[in-house]
Amino acid sequence: MKRVAALALALCLILVLFAGCSGGGSAKSANVIKIGVYEPASGDNGAGGKQETLGIQYANYIQPTVDIDGKTYDVKLVIVDNESSTDKAVAAASQLVSEKVSIVLGSYGSAVSIAGSDTFAQAGIPVVGITCTNPQVTEGNTHYFRICYLDPFQGTVLASYAFNDLGVKKAYCLAKLGDDYSVGLCNYFMEAFEDLGGTVVFETFPEGNTDFTSYVANAKNAGAEVFFAPVSTEAAALIIDQAHAQNLGIPLLAGDTWDSNVILDAAKGKNVSIAVTTFYQEGGNPEFDKGIKEWLNAKGNEQYLANNNGNDEIAAVTAMGYDAYFVALEAIKAAKSTDPGKIMEALWGVSYEGVTGLIEFNDIGDAKRDVAYVKSVNTETGKWDFVGLASIN
């Protein structure tokens, strides 16, 4: 009996194997160009990654074809989940390489971008980073581009906002252990804040931590006047909750990750004040806002709405994802080819006016951006209030 069962199990595995192979091979057709989407759909950055992917999917819905040298190609998105984890990143990236994508978009989170970078480099595939703000992503390579500003810029903007606009002298910084994004941004913030004449306290929390009681108490005891926590939205929601429960009473400050409706939900009706810097302010391009809201609320798109945390508030990362898709299309058009190498060369010359502003690359492959949007949460309505533009003088 056992042997028969073993035989059956083995047969099942073989069947699965064939199904897997045929599934991979059946999608070949003459006029298709594949764009890889290398984003986390689970793990700590799952929420942000999904919102970024939404922007790409919406852009693909708006513009499903591209003309290459007079021929119309269908654009097919190949989406993989890098699980927000550097040890799963290589396999996810290899999956895209083996699917023969022409260009890759992503990832949300700098650490996974760095981890997947070499795999793409070896295959000669260009990557357009969307919101990975750590300088290390594009440094020292020619295939990684990005359309957002960088942490040194963002950290400086935030520090000067805290010091000059909020008028505070002591900051409490909290980062997640082993997270290049939050540790990096905290570092640049601290450098700039100390240069301005402020003092900082820096602490980290381990992955999977859900108890932020003591961190909030630490900030209070340290006499900090601002709580800087550029962490993932999941931790952010818990921090906001604790800040409210303990009546923290000082402003919370964060970077682009907090520009998400998860934060709005968490902060609604709470006794907290929150300010963030970000890439896009809803209302910046009414046509885009209206279109994507209709698309999210359309029948049959419930899954997309769920990925956007169940409402149609637009996150900046979604707008950035949308722009990244069109930057990729521009490069493909300019390259007049589906060949990754040619697209990589064409990317350097791309100039595209997106919903988040003009996108052009400098000689490192970073977008030339010098303006950040500052916005704050209106805890009564649960919406963002626009505070102003910030840049380095």
Partner 1 sequence: MIKNKKNTILGFCALAALFLVLFVLEKLLPTGSMLFVVLKKGAIYALVAASMNLLNGFTGLFSLGQAGFMLIGAYCYAIFTIPVQHRDAVYQYFDGGLIQFTVPVVVALIMAGLAAAIFAALIGLPVLRLKSDYLAIATLGFAEIIRAIFQWDALGPLTNASNVLRRYPLFSSTLFPFIVAGICIAIIVLLINSSYGRAFKAIRDDEVAAEAMGINLFKHKQMAFVISSFFAGVGGALLAMYQTTIQANAFKSAMTYEILLIVVIGGIGSISGSCIASFLFIACSEWWLRFLDAETYIGAFKVPLLRSGFRKVVFSIVIMAVVLFYSKGLMGDKEISFQGISGFIKDPFGLVSRRKKKTEGVHIDG
Partner 2 sequence: MDFINQNLPYILAGISVGGQYALIAIGYTMVYGILRLINFAHGDLFMAAGLIMIYLTASLPLYIAIPLDLIIIAVLGFLIERVAYKPLRNAPRMSIMISAIGVSYLLQNVALYVTGGLAKTYPTIPWISNSVTIFGATTKVVTLVTPVLTLILVVALVLLINNTKIGMAMRAVSRDFETSQLMGIKINTVISVTFIIGSLLAAVGSMLYFTNYTAVTPISGSMPGLKCFVAAVFGGIGSIPGAVIGAFLIGICENIIKGLGWTTFSDAFTFALLIVILIAKPTGLFGEKSTDKV
Q: Which residues bind partner 2 (CB under 8 A)?
A: 40-43, 46-47, 50, 81, 177, 203-206, 208-218, 220-221, 233-234, 237-238, 241, 244-247, 265-266, 306-307, 309
Is residue 25 within the footprint of partner 1 (CB under 8 A)?
no
Quick one: what does residue 220 bind among partner 1, partner 2, none, with the CB cut-off 5 to 8 Å set by partner type?
partner 2
CB of 5 to partner 1, least distance (A): 7
Considering the complex, state which of residue 197 and residue 208 has its C-beta at the smaller distance from partner 1: 208
Q: For 46-84, b where at least 16 C-beta lie within 10 A, e where not — what string?
A: bbbbbbbbbbbbbbbeeeeebebeeeebebbbbbbbbbb
How far apart CA 50 and CA 282 sit, in angstroms, is 18
With H, G, I as helix, E, B as strand and everything else as coil, classify residue 349. coil
DSSP letter assigned to residue 361:
B
Considering the complex, state which of residue 113 and residue 233 has its C-beta at the smaller distance from partner 2: 233
CB of 114 to partner 1, least distance (A): 6
Q: How far is CA 39 from CA 108, 128, 279, 335, in A?
A: 6, 12, 18, 25
Burial class (CB in 10 A: 0-12, 13-18, 19+), 15: exposed
Is residue 184 within the footprint of partner 1 (CB under 8 A)?
yes
How far apart CA 205 and CA 231 sit, in angstroms, is 10
Spacing of C-alpha 161 from chain mean position: 23
Considering the complex, state which of residue 147 and residue 315 has its C-beta at the smaller distance from partner 2: 315
Which of 25, 167, 197, 206 touches partner 1 by CB under 8 A? Answer: 206
x-or-dash string of contact with partner 1, 1-20, rule CB under 8 A: -xx-xxx-x---x--xx-xx
x-or-dash string of contact with partner 1, 62-101, rule CB under 8 A: -----------------x-x---xxx-xxx--xx-xx-x-
Quick one: what does residue 100 bind among partner 2, partner 1, none, with the CB cut-off 5 to 8 Å set by partner type?
partner 1
Is residue 343 within the footprint of partner 1 (CB under 8 A)?
no
CB of 19 to partner 1, least distance (A): 7
Strand partners, 252: 227, 274
On whether the CB atoms of residues 200 and 171 are closer than 8 A, the answer is: yes
Quick one: what does residue 30 bind among partner 2, partner 1, none, with the CB cut-off 5 to 8 Å set by partner type?
none
Q: How far is CA 190 from CA 33, 151, 158, 213, 258, in A?
A: 44, 12, 10, 23, 19
Residues near 204 by beta carbon (within 8 Å), at least 6 away in sequence = 174, 175, 176, 177, 183
Considering the complex, state which of residue 208 and residue 300 has its C-beta at the smaller distance from partner 2: 208
How far apart CA 233 and CA 259 sit, in angstroms, is 9
CB of 286 to partner 2, least distance (A): 29
Is residue 183 within the footprint of partner 1 (CB under 8 A)?
yes
Which of 52, 179, 323, 366 touches partner 1 by CB under 8 A? Answer: 179
Is residue 211 within the footprint of partner 1 (CB under 8 A)?
no
Which of 35, 41, 105, 264 touches partner 1 by CB under 8 A? Answer: 41
Q: How many residues does the chain have?
A: 393
Is residue 298 within the footprint of partner 1 (CB under 8 A)?
no
Which of 52, 180, 225, 330 touches partner 1 by CB under 8 A? Answer: 180
CB of 310 to partner 2, least distance (A): 10
Q: Which of residues 100-119 bind partner 1 (CB under 8 A)?
A: 100, 111, 114-115, 117-119
Q: How far is CA 102 from CA 34, 120, 127, in A?
A: 6, 11, 9
CB of 355 to partner 1, least distance (A): 27
Considering the complex, state which of residue 2 and residue 299 has its C-beta at the smaller distance from partner 1: 2
Is residue 209 within the footprint of partner 1 (CB under 8 A)?
no
How far apart CA 129 and CA 347 sit, in angstroms, is 12
How far apart CA 128 and CA 52 sit, in angstroms, is 13
How far apart CA 84 and CA 234 sit, in angstroms, is 13
**341 phi and psi, to 5 degrees?**
-60, -45
On whether the CB atoms of residues 122 and 142 are closer than 8 A, the answer is: no
Q: Which spans of this chain sit near partner 1 (rule: CB under 8 A)?
A: 2-3, 5-7, 9, 13, 16-17, 19-20, 23-24, 41-42, 79, 81, 85-87, 89-91, 94-95, 97-98, 100, 111, 114-115, 117-119, 122-123, 135-136, 139-140, 177-180, 183-184, 187, 204, 206-207, 303
